């Protein structure tokens, strides 16, 4: 057992580069998958938190009568929902100096629909008022500003004592007027239950359900309950609005749902790339371990204990990569969350949320890595030790489809013929590289496309950050896959490289032999990535109702594949030294 | 001055364990058109000698002059050029590119070489005229070795170096390969050096260089080499 563990330990040491490659790809994948996936979760959690802390009303019942609700109607509602759960209010929209002003008049420090004080103080006298904060659609006042308001008979001067945020208006876009069709509110003033009107009128009743847990960010149970309640209100001439009609909270929830759906695309893509990287890396690793495996087999070690070494290898790499991804994933979630600030006044980032998406992404990745490793391990291990002791037969040369088009094939130089054959011969590597480079190109394009749009937006800081993160991750993905594939090619063709050197090929020519294939695949990926990226970007812009393709600069389309190819070139060049340091004696050695 | 002349060639490898002399004061002269066998057991320094003659490594001291050029003084770039144009190399395991056809494998060498011969003609001369478009996996061991020889001679080198050329082949095929190498030295007037541990080959060579523990034990000259087909092992 001790010797077995020793040899396992040495395998880790020998395969350190491959180990680190897998750690890195799992780090990148889980980080992005969890980071993007968790956004919806966090936003819904924040909505739920906010709903509870501000006691956001579930229903707003508006009277359509000039005189508002009668005392009998209010008693009915008090009886139906409980006196503590309703809040009466008066509101109307009026035009002063060409500006539409909404005036609320109710008990301002009420427990229902708590106004968040952003600046100043709550009113201490009847002549002090609160005003709504400035947003993209709403203008505001300064604390201490004087406002003259008239009820049609007398005019009074009020002083702004504080600036607040109304939980029902957490979005930053225009707030439609209830009295003036197709017009928007310019300012909102909150009177502190003063005798502003000659007679007291109540035209809004806020209803806050006693059970604050039921909402759960627009859960199904909540929807049923609200629909039942709405239809059970036996009043005439009223409009009953629920949180489903609230533009702010509901659209935030919907938007988060859309981000959640886009996350699925990322999950599928990264899962595919990770599985391919793990597959190609582990296949090569196992090929290099052939004689070790044969030795263990002849000594009578069971298949389980042999394959187990590689399962431990992949699990350990996955766990390390996954743990590293935890912090990065959370950072990405925070960043995307803060991007919502452009359209919504976001509540603070919720802390106490279980990392559901992180665990999910990690488990999906871990499972698929284990499955891929086990399958390739079992495939190799079912060979007899005698077969394993002989070297793996080289991939037999084969004509590729392109050779049937003599017009194209014959015009290719000899070096390219060789490269094209290899490119199309190793199908899973071709697929892995092209898919990753397409993904990388799409990420760069999304980043730059977002940047082009972001620079046209106010409060664009977090969008610029997102663009930067997308480009950084595109670079990481590209670097990882290209480094990995180049490394595999070099170790697999060690003998060919040594032979070329003996034949008198220069360092540049020899490395070109390896790099040319990588560049052909990257070129295909980068070129295919542009139209696919266009489609993706158009879909995303439409889906999240932000940005447009027409805002994307023309040169972004050209610079994107160039950036991807630069990423490829840099990552492959990292291995130039390894190629030229190949020992020529490798060509003389026996096959092993 | 001989065509190939080695004088006091020494190669040392330094390691933490100390200095190891792989070759010790090796001196010999060879002429163009000769068929030479370098014979010795494994670990005798054959590979080191092959590396130095093939321009794959520099000697620690001494001189190696081929056709009036001292290759022991060459830098990395000169050595690359030397391997490119002056040396033909035949490997024990053929070392053909699996994804290139027989013809393309020969072109691999001629493409980077100025005075190369026609790859098709050379392949025809080694009786592979009908196998030009076959990949290595579609050829037998002997055929692959003939492609390897064609690749080595197509660049019209000054020196043909063969590392255990029959090591991976069966008896009969091995003999035909040796016959082919012998005819190259005689018909094309090339210096052919075969490195081997197979004692039986000593009878067919013009000169046999016996190497042991890094030094030259003796050099035999055969006035009348035996025809290959009469040799047995």
Nearest to B80 among A394, A425, A504 (CB): A504
> Which residues of chain A does B100 touch, with a Cβ-Cβ cutoff of 8 Å?
397, 418, 421
Q: What is the mean pLDDT of residues A480-505?
A: 93
Check whether A311 has a pLDDT greater than 90. yes
Domain ranges of chain A: 2-48+250-588, 60-242
Check whether A426 has a pLDDT greater than 90. no
Query: pLDDT by residue (tens digit) across A248-293?
Result: 889 899 989 998 898 899 889 999 999 999 999 999 999 999 988 9
Query: pLDDT by residue (tens digit) across A10-58?
Result: 999 999 999 999 999 999 999 999 999 999 989 999 999 999 999 999 9
Structure tokens at A276: 């391919």
pLDDT given at position A319: 96
Share of chain A above pLDDT 90, in %: 63
Check whether A154 has a pLDDT greater than 90. no
Check whether A395 has a pLDDT greater than 80. no
Closest to B50 (Cα-Cα) out of B23, B25, B30: B23
Phi, psi of A131 (to 5 degrees): -130, 155
Dist CA B51 CA A46 (whole Å): 71
Q: What is the mean pLDDT of residues A220-239?
A: 91
Distance in Å, alpha carbon of A293 to nearest chain B alpha carbon: 24
Query: pLDDT by residue (tens digit) across B160-210?
Result: 999 999 988 898 999 999 999 999 999 999 999 999 999 989 999 999 999
Check whether A220 has a pLDDT greater than 80. yes
pLDDT given at position A195: 75
Whole-model pTM above 0.90? no
Query: Any bridge partners for residue A149, and if so which?
Result: A156
> Which distant-in-sequence residues (6+ apart) come within 8 Å of A375 by Cβ?
none
Q: What is the mean pLDDT of residues A124-142?
A: 91
CA dist list (Å): A350 to A43, A248, A554, B114: 8, 18, 40, 72
Q: How many CB atoms lie within 10 A of CB A237?
A: 10
pLDDT given at position A460: 79
Burial A538-565 (b: 16+ CB within 10 A, else e): eebbeeeebbeeebbeeebbeebbebbb
Check whether B18 has a pLDDT greater than 60. yes
Dist CA B52 CA B193 (whole Å): 13
Query: pLDDT by residue (tens digit) across B99-131?
Result: 899 999 999 999 898 889 999 999 999 999 999
Distance in Å, alpha carbon of A428 to nearest chain B alpha carbon: 17
Q: How is residue A276 annotated by DSSP?
A: H
Check whether A495 has a pLDDT greater than 80. yes
Do A482 and A518 form a contact (C-beta atoms < 8 A)?
yes
pLDDT given at position B218: 94
Q: What is the mean pLDDT of residues B27-38?
A: 96
Do B205 and B36 form a contact (C-beta atoms < 8 A)?
yes
Dist CA A361 CA A565 (whole Å): 29
Closest to B147 (Cα-Cα) out of A118, A499, A523, A274: A499
Dist CA B203 CA B163 (whole Å): 18
Nearest to B81 among A393, A502, A504 (CB): A504
> Which residues of chain A does B109 touch, with a Cβ-Cβ cutoff of 8 Å?
503
Radius of gyration of chain A, Cα coordinates, nearest whole angstrom: 33
Do B83 and A502 form a contact (C-beta atoms < 8 A)?
yes
Q: Residue A354: pLDDT band by 50, 70, 90 thresholds?
A: low
Q: What is the mean pLDDT of residues A45-72?
A: 92
CA angle B47–B52–B53, rounded 5-degree value? 95
Check whether A167 has a pLDDT greater than 60. yes
Q: Is the ipTM of this complex over 0.85?
A: yes
Q: What is the mean pLDDT of residues B136-157?
A: 94
Q: Residue A352: pLDDT band by 50, 70, 90 thresholds?
A: low
Check whether A592 has a pLDDT greater than 60. no
pLDDT given at position A446: 93
Distance in Å, alpha carbon of A502 to nearest chain B alpha carbon: 6
Taking CB atoms and an 8 Å limit, are A397 and B109 in contact across chains? no
pLDDT given at position A430: 94
Mark residue B14 as left, alpha or beta (left: phi above 0; alpha: psi -120 to 50; beta: remaining). Answer: beta
Report chain B's mean pLDDT, rounded to a whole number.
93
Got the DSSP string for A446-479?
HHHHHHHHHTTSTT-HHHHHHHHHHHHHHHHHHH
Dist CA B29 CA B67 (whole Å): 12
Taking CB atoms and an 8 Å limit, are A397 and B83 in contact across chains? no
pLDDT given at position A353: 63
Q: What is the mean pLDDT of residues A551-576?
A: 94
Check whether A462 has a pLDDT greater than 70. yes
């Amino acid at each position: 057992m001790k010797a077995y563990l020793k040899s396992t330990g040495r395998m880790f040491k020998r395969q350190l580069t491959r180990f680190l490659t897998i750690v890195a790809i799992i780090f990148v994948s889980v980080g992005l998958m969890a980071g993007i996936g968790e956004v919806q979760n966090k936003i819904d959690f924040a909505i739920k938190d906010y709903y509870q802390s501000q006691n956001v009303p579930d229903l707003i019942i508006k009277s359509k009568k000039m005189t508002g609700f009668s005392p009998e109607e209010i008693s009915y509602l008090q009886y139906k929902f409980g006196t503590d759960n309703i809040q009466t209010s008066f509101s109307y929209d009026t035009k002063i100096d060409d500006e539409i002003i909404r005036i609320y008049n109710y008990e301002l420090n009420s427990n229902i629909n708590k106004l968040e004080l952003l600046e100043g103080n709550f009113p201490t006298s009847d002549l002090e008022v609160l005003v709504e904060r400035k947003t993209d659609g709403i203008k505001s006042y300064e604390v201490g500003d004087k406002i003259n308001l008239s009820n049609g008979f007398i005019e009074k001067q009020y002083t702004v004592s504080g600036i607040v945020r109304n939980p029902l208006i957490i979005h930053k876009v225009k707030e439609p007027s209830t009295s003036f069709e197709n017009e928007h509110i310019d300012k909102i003033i909150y009177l502190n239950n003063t005798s502003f009107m000659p007679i007291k009128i109540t035209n809004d009743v806020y209803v806050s359900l006693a059970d604050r847990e039921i909402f759960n960010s627009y859960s199904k149970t909540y929807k049923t309950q609200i629909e039942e309640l709405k239809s059970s209100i036996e009043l005439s001439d009223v409009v009953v609005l629920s949180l489903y009609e609230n533009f702010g909270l509901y659209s935030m929830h919907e938007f988060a749902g859309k981000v959640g759906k886009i996350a699925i695309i990322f999950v599928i893509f990264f899962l595919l790339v990770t599985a391919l990287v793990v597959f190609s890396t582990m296949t090569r690793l196992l090929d290099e371990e052939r004689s070790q495996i044969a030795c263990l087999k002849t000594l009578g070690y069971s298949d389980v204990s042999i394959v187990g070494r590689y399962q431990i290898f992949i699990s350990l790499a996955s766990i390390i990569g996954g743990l590293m991804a935890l912090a990065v994933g959370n950072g990405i979630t925070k960043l995307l969350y803060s991007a919502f600030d452009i359209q919504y006044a976001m509540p603070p980032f919720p802390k106490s949320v279980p990392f559901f998406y992180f665990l999910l992404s990690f488990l999906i990745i871990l499972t698929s890595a284990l499955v891929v490793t086990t399958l390739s391990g079992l495939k190799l291990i079912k060979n007899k030790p005698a077969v394993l002791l002989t070297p793996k037969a080289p991939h037999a040369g084969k004509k590729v489809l392109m050779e049937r088009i003599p017009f194209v094939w014959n015009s290719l130089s000899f070096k390219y013929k060789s490269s094209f054959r290899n490119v199309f011969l190793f199908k899973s590597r071709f697929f892995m590289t092209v898919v990753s480079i397409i993904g990388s190109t799409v990420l760069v394009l999304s980043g730059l496309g977002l940047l082009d749009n972001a620079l046209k937006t106010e409060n664009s800081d977090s969008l610029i950050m997102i663009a930067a993160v997308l480009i950084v991750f595109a670079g990481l993905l590209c670097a990882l896959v290209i480094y990995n594939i180049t490394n595999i090619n070099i170790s697999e063709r060690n003998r060919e490289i040594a032979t070329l050197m003996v034949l008198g090929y220069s360092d540049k020519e020899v490395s070109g032999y390896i790099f040319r294939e990588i560049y052909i695949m990257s070129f295909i990926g980068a070129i295919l990535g542009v139209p696919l990226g266009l489609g993706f970007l158009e879909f995303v812009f439409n889906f999240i109702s932000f940005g447009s393709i027409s805002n994307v600069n023309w040169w972004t389309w050209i610079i994107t594949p160039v950036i991807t190819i630069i990423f490829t070139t840099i990552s492959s060049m990292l291995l130039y030294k390894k190629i030229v340091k190949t020992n020529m004696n490798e060509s003389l050695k026996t096959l092993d | 001055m001989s065509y190939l002349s080695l004088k006091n060639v020494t190669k040392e490898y330094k390691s933490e364990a100390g200095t190891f002399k792989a070759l010790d004061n090796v001196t010999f002269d060879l002429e163009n058109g000769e068929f030479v066998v370098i014979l010795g057991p494994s670990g005798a320094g054959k590979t080191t000698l092959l590396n130095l003659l093939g321009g794959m490594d520099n000697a620690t001291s001494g001189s190696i002059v081929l056709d009036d050029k001292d290759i022991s003084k060459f830098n990395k770039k000169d050595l690359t050029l030397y391997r490119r144009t002056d040396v033909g190399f035949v490997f024990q395991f053929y070392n053909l590119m699996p994804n290139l056809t027989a013809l393309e494998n020969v072109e691999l060498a001629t493409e980077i070489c100025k005075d190369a011969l026609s790859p098709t003609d050379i392949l025809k001369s080694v009786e592979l005229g009908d196998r030009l478009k076959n990949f290595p996996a579609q050829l037998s061991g002997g055929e692959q070795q003939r492609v390897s020889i064609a690749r080595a001679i197509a660049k019209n080198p000054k020196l043909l170096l063969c590392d255990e050329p029959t090591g991976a082949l069966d008896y009969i095929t091995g003999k035909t390969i040796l016959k082919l190498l012998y005819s190259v030295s005689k018909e094309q007037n090339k210096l052919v050096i075969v490195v081997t541990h197979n004692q039986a080959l000593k009878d067919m060579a013009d000169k046999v260089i016996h190497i042991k523990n890094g030094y030259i034990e003796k050099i035999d000259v055969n006035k009348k080499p035996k025809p290959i087909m009469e040799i047995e092992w």
